[in-house]
Structure 1
Amino acid sequence: MSEGIDLSDLKRRMDGAINAFKSDVASLRTGRASANVLDPVMVEAYGSRVPLNQVANITVPEARMLGVSIWDKSMVNAVDRAIRESNLGLNPIVDGQNLRIPLPELNEERRKSLVKVAHDYSEKAKVAVRNVRRDGMDSLKKAEKDGDIGQDVSRSQSEKVQKMTDEMISDIDRLLAEKEKEIMQV
């Protein structure tokens, strides 16, 4: 009999979900312009969806402005459309092969919509963590059914997986609360 499933692998996968969540909320702007704001933007390019930074350079020429220099002239409209449809509340100004994106002042309504986006990101991360938990539990059930591990080992590891999941979910909630406070701060 083995000692069950690889808990360190489950932890690594759950950490991956949290790191993805951290990078998602880092892209939510709070006051100053940051090139990370455009990280979630995916552009329809050459028959597939690619991140914006794979078709253009993103710069921050001034505190309330982003600059996007598109490498391929034929991609300008696709990039413009992707930024407008990205749910970030940005309206690019097309200037040849470049886009200038003025960042609007954060009003109460915009702050609330950014908080909603942050909540969506947190829910996505929680679902990812729960999927990892489900995979671990399924592996345990299968190992127990196949006779690889006993009921006691299975129950013990199930409790460890659940404890790890609860810790990850509370980490996500804590990070979300911090970001929400940062966004709502005037």
Structure 2
Amino acid sequence: MNIFYQLIGFGALIAMGLSYWQNDKRTILLWQVVANLIFAIHYTLLHACSGALCSFFQIVVLLLFLLQEKFNWSKLVTAIPIVAVFLLIAVVTYETPVTVLPIVASLAALLPFFQSRRRVIQMAGIASGLSWLVYVIAVRSYSGMVTESVLTIITAASLLKKETRKP
């Protein structure tokens, strides 16, 4: 496996980790757009189709979240096509049950952004990270294994950090 491909994955780790330490939803989303672009490139190079397609589509979804807030679009109307496209990705890329995990992880991580509670977003990030972890082990993304392990820890730490600041 090419070390360069793995290093690209570590770039995504840095961007995603930074996203969870931001104070507002818009900045979190922007950092996650960058991270997902890097992940999409990484999975494409590894020929991990469901991971690559999910990462590319997550960029579109994150941008839709920003537009949904700006234009006050209905959350349900915005969510329906997102779920439909993820289901299409699941059908098109299905090889084994493991190839469905990025879709499950993506839905877990992205749908909570339709509300504004950071804690819910962070908890969904933990669930998503664990699903991605199983997938990256299966596709032998060594940087992904480190990324998802570290992201889950970072997300849990940021959740605890914000929790301890409240009286």
TM-score under structure 1 length normalisation? 0.30
Q: Which has the higher strand share?
A: 1
TM-score (norm 2): 0.33
**Higher RCO (C-alpha 8 Å, min separation 6):** 1
* Structure that is richer in helix per residue: 2
